[in-house]
Structure 1
Amino acid sequence: MISKRLFLQQAGGMAAAALSLPSWAQGAPVEGKHYKRLQVAQPISNEKGEVLEFFWYGCPACFRFDPTLNQWLTRKPAQVSFRRSPAIIHGASKAHQRLFFTLQALGLSESLHVQVFAAVQADQEGMGELKGMQAGLSKLGVDAAKFAQFYQSFSVQTRCSQADTLIRSYLGDAYTVPSLAVNGRYITSPSMAGGDAQAVAVVDYLLTLPR
């Protein structure tokens, strides 16, 4: 778990998850312990259900959580939308945020997500600068010149600013990653839920609550 302050479908799956979490009272997550309710509900883009992940490519806890989250994505309810939002933890994470939105602008953020995550974890310093990103991404088949063009664009800067506003609206100025927001009303995380698998099980539960 990385703290900004410190430098900063389905029922069967839910039932199985609940069985693995005996600490949950009566088989259900506890509000205030395993998740929290936002004081002010945030607008969502999909009334049938929405999950947001706030993360940072350089966060070891986010990297550990990613396989569990990706597995959940293969079984999430089809009507529920999901999106990732890169968080600013410190100076280096600003470059990684721009990296994410550049790949998104190129239509590559999902197809290269796992590989890019691993590349940043392996070389955060190198992947914290444009030239290093170009070199690393070229190995993954990304056009280096086109990447630089988008990386320096106003549209990518705008997406970064919007992401900063989004995470503050959900988590305030002092937050941890990875964190998950559900339906604009609830927040959970592996640290709150008691583990990576528990966190996605809490998400499953929260998706069943009235919106």
Structure 2
Amino acid sequence: MTTTRREFIQQAGGLAATTLALPAWAQGKPVEGQHYRKLQNLQPVASKTGEVIEFFWYGCPHCYRFEPTLNQWLARKPAQLAFRRSPAIIHGASKAHQRIFFALQGMGLAESLHAQVFAAVQADPAALGELAEIQGLMKKLGVDTAKFAQQYESFTVQARCQQATALIRSYMGDTYTVPTLAVNGRYLTSPSMAGGEAQAIEVLNYLLTLPRG
């Protein structure tokens, strides 16, 4: 089953505790099984030069808190390293949030409006579950609502949503947490595993130095 709202509350308590702790690798390196996980089966990646995937949900407060730190890393990541976001389904409303992402992506607006959509969903994670309500937000953001609706209800967006759900399950099974970073189809880490947002980036950079095979 997918992660529930109750599990998110439990994760919040665990994350708060770990962010107060100093990284265990302060004088060494991240520990496999504690700060990151190595997948048994190598997953396909979209780029031969390396790839990082962020699994997220617009309604996740931990994902939202991670955004500034992640964006700082994105601003200085190697140009040849591929990065993509993949929205996860957490509960009913998040299905619509996933479709928002891919509808905007189809219009070439996913990155430019990412922060605004994130903030809007954070204001009420249970909101923006119906197209009419979503179009209201799109109008405020200056998006052509008719074109957005066409994308939102398209077969292409439905297919991309199905692919995104299959992708996160291929990495983490039916029970997953966000935010999570997948590195080169081989490793997983997250702020909750690493001990905080900044630590997650440290682990990410370390994982990028490890063999990909």
Gap regions ≥5 residues in structure 1: 9-19
Aligned to 2:135: 134
Q: Contact 2:93/2:127 (CA < 8 Å) preserved in 1?
A: no
Distance in 2 of aligned mates of 1:92 and 1:140:
20
Amino acid at match of 2:156: S
Q: Contact 2:103/2:148 (CA < 8 Å) preserved in 1?
A: yes
Per-residue deviation, 1:200: 1.1
Q: Contact 2:23/2:194 (CA < 8 Å) preserved in 1?
A: no
Per-residue deviation, 1:124: 3.1
Q: Contact 2:43/2:171 (CA < 8 Å) preserved in 1?
A: yes
Q: Contact 2:35/2:195 (CA < 8 Å) preserved in 1?
A: yes
Mapping of residues 154-173 of structure 1, within 5 Å: 154-173=155-174
Per-residue deviation, 1:99: 0.6
Count matched residues.
Answer: 198
Mapping of residues 91-170 of structure 1, within 5 Å: 91-170=92-171
Amino acid at match of 1:133: I
Aligned to 1:66: 67
Q: Contact 2:56/2:88 (CA < 8 Å) preserved in 1?
A: yes
Give the match's secondary structure for 2:101: helix
Amino acid at match of 2:151: F
- Residues 121 and 110 of structure 1, relative CA distance in 2, 3 Å threshold: same
Does 1:26 find its partner at 2:27? Answer: yes
Q: Contact 1:49/1:79 (CA < 8 Å) preserved in 2?
A: yes
Cα shift readout 1:52-97 (whole Å, capped 9, x = no counterpart): 0000001111111111111110011111100000001111110100
Cα shift readout 1:177-204 (whole Å, capped 9, x = no counterpart): 0000000000000000000011111110
Give the match's secondary structure for 1:126: coil
Amino acid at match of 2:130: E
Q: Contact 2:187/2:207 (CA < 8 Å) preserved in 1?
A: yes
Q: Contact 2:70/2:201 (CA < 8 Å) preserved in 1?
A: yes
Amino acid at match of 1:144: T
Aligned to 1:4: 3
Q: Contact 1:49/1:80 (CA < 8 Å) preserved in 2?
A: yes
Q: Contact 1:42/1:184 (CA < 8 Å) preserved in 2?
A: yes
Distance in 2 of aligned mates of 1:64 and 1:127:
20
Distance in 1 of aligned mates of 2:27 and 2:39:
23
Give the match's secondary structure for 1:74: helix
Aligned to 1:14: none
| Bigger mean CA offset, 192-201 vs 116-125 | 116-125
TM-score norm. by structure 2 comes to 0.88
Amino acid at match of 1:207: L
Q: Contact 2:138/2:145 (CA < 8 Å) preserved in 1?
A: yes
Give the match's secondary structure for 2:175: coil
Gap regions ≥5 residues in structure 2: 9-20
Distance in 1 of aligned mates of 2:28 and 2:115:
33
Aligned to 2:14: none
| Bigger mean CA offset, 124-133 vs 168-177 | 124-133
Identity %: 70
Give the match's secondary structure for 1:53: strand
Aligned to 2:13: none
CA-atom RMSD, angstroms? 1.6
- Residues 57 and 121 of structure 1, relative CA distance in 2, 3 Å threshold: same
